[in-house]
């Protein structure tokens, strides 16, 4: 009979919850989702208490003005690019054809005046005309040759692109238009916001149709990894813990202990806050400590939930667990 009682006592001891060292509560680091631009709330895609996936749409503000500005900037970019491209080319083929026709006419005219000069020179030698007629014919030859040279130069210039400075200015205008389009695209995109992580929608602060100021949160999210335990360690027991040390968390209705690791130890002492309902601890000087669960995706901790915290290993004076 005594052996049976001893065995029962050992089994009962194994099922007991480890004695709690400190008291605390669950805390959450909320993410407040807002848009940098204001506007009427066109649509809200989630509600409080809903689990949302990363990158899923949360809400959208009225973006009519931003979309119109984006379309305008897009048209300006197309115009600037066309102008920049035009400076890289010579004149149109039709314009060059006109110059070629004028050059052909001038060359034919030059051939005629040269023939006329030769005829006048022959007549002067025979004594039929005065020397002034030859002078006039020579002048006409010079004028026609100058016209041919002018049209040849015009044809060469027509095949050249714009000057380097003009091309640089046109390209700079196209670059500026591109950046303006990027700005309008950013503004349009900011009118709708997606979830930055898998999270719980905690609160929705606006309804559809209401006006939202720039930067004003529309809703709050709580990702699983932002849940943590916050507890308070008396100054005399601070030497027992280090950052990274394993602890176990216990809460009403949680079942088995929740494994966690200490993530932060406050650098300054404080008096135990009123949320810790222990008269024995309330008058003590304590340090706030935070611990994060090893498996946050199980969602076992709920902000405001009272917790008991136990160490899984003691710490030596050298800072090593044993």
Q: What is the assigned CATH class of domain 17-28+224-311?
A: mainly beta
Q: Give residue 3's pLDDT band: very low, low, confident or very high (50, 70, 90).
A: very low
80, with CB counted inside 10 A (0-12, 13-18, 19+), is: buried
pTM: 0.68
From 112-121, 279-288, 289-298, the region with the lowest mean pLDDT: 279-288
Tell me how far CA of residue 149 lies from CA of 102, 156, 256, in angstroms: 12, 11, 101
Tell me how far CA of residue 112 lies from CA of 115, 126, 139, in angstroms: 5, 21, 13
Beta bridge partners of residue 228, listed in sequence order: 27
Using the predicted structure, report yes or no on whether residue 20 has a pLDDT greater than 70: no
108: number of Cβ within 10 Å: 11
* pLDDT at site 300: 81
Place of tokens 């049976």: 4
In sequence order, which residues have a C-beta less than 8 Å from that of residue 251 and are 6 or more positions away? 26, 258, 300, 301, 305, 306, 307, 308
Hey, do 17-28+224-311 and 93-160 end up sharing a CATH topology, with the first three levels equal?
no
Place of tokens 């040849």: 152
Tell me how far CA of residue 16 lies from CA of 22, 23, 46, 261, in angstroms: 17, 18, 42, 22
Domain spans of the chain, in order of start: 17-28+224-311, 31-63+194-222, 93-160
CATH match of 93-160 with 3.40.50.620:
no
pLDDT in tens, 175-196: 999 999 999 999 999 999 999 9
Strand positions, DSSP E, 53-101: 57-61
Using the predicted structure, report yes or no on whether residue 11 has a pLDDT greater than 50: no
Distance CA 57, CA 29 (A): 21
In sequence order, which residues have a C-beta less than 8 Å from that of residue 136 and are 6 or more positions away? 120
- Residue 280: half-sphere exposure toward Cβ, Cα within 13 Å: 4
% of the chain exceeding 90 in pLDDT: 45
Query: Crossing angle for the helix pair 164-190 and 64-86, nearest 10 degrees?
Result: 160
Distance CA 312, CA 293 (A): 14
- Residue 270: half-sphere exposure toward Cβ, Cα within 13 Å: 13
Residues written for the chain: 322
Using the predicted structure, report yes or no on whether residue 6 has a pLDDT greater than 90: no
| Residues 284, 286, 290: CA angle, nearest 5 degrees | 145
Torsion angle, alpha carbons of 83, 88, 90, 94, to 10: -50
Beta bridge partners of residue 307, listed in sequence order: 24
Instruction: List phi, psi (to 5°) of 162.
Output: -65, 165
Pick from 42, 33, 31, 32: which is nearest to 188 by CA?
A: 42
What's the whole-number average pLDDT of the chain?
83
Q: CATH code for 31-63+194-222?
A: 2.40.50.100
Pick from 28, 30, 42: which is nearest to 193 by CA?
A: 42
pLDDT in tens, 240-256: 899 999 999 998 888 88
Distance CA 16, CA 217 (A): 45
Q: Give residue 278's pLDDT band: very low, low, confident or very high (50, 70, 90).
A: low
């Amino acid at each position: 009979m005594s052996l049976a009682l001893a065995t029962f006592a050992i089994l009962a001891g194994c099922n007991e919850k480890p004695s709690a060292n400190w008291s605390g509560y669950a805390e959450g680091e909320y993410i407040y989702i807002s848009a940098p631009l204001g506007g009427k709330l066109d649509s809200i895609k989630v509600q409080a208490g809903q689990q949302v996936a990363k990158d899923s749409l949360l809400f959208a503000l009225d973006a009519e003005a931003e979309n119109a500005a984006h379309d305008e900037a897009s048209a300006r970019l197309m115009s600037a690019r066309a102008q920049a491209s035009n400076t890289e080319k010579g004149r149109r083929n039709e314009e060059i054809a006109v110059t070629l026709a004028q050059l052909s006419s001038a060359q034919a005219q030059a051939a005629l005046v040269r023939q006329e000069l030769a005829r006048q020179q022959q007549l002067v030698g025979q004594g039929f005309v005065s020397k002034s007629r030859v002078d006039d014919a020579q002048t006409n030859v010079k004028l026609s040759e100058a016209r041919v040279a002018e049209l040849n130069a015009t044809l060469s210039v027509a095949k050249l692109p714009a000057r380097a400075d003009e091309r640089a200015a046109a390209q700079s205008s196209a670059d500026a238009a591109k950046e303006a389009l990027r700005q309008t695209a950013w503004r349009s995109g900011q009118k709708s916001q997606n979830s930055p992580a898998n999270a719980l929608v905690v609160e929705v602060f606006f309804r559809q149709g209401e006006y939202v100021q720039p930067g004003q949160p529309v809703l709050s999210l709580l990702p699983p990894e932002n849940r943590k335990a916050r507890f308070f360690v008396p100054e005399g027991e601070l030497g027992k813990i280090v950052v990274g040390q394993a602890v176990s968390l216990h809460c009403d209705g949680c079942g088995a202990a929740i494994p966690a690791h200490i993530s932060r130890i406050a650098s300054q002492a404080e008096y135990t806050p009123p949320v810790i309902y222990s008269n024995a601890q309330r008058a003590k000087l304590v340090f706030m400590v935070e611990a994060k669960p090893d498996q946050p995706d199980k969602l076992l901790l709920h902000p405001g939930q009272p917790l008991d915290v136990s160490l899984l290993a003691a710490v030596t004076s050298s800072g090593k667990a044993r």
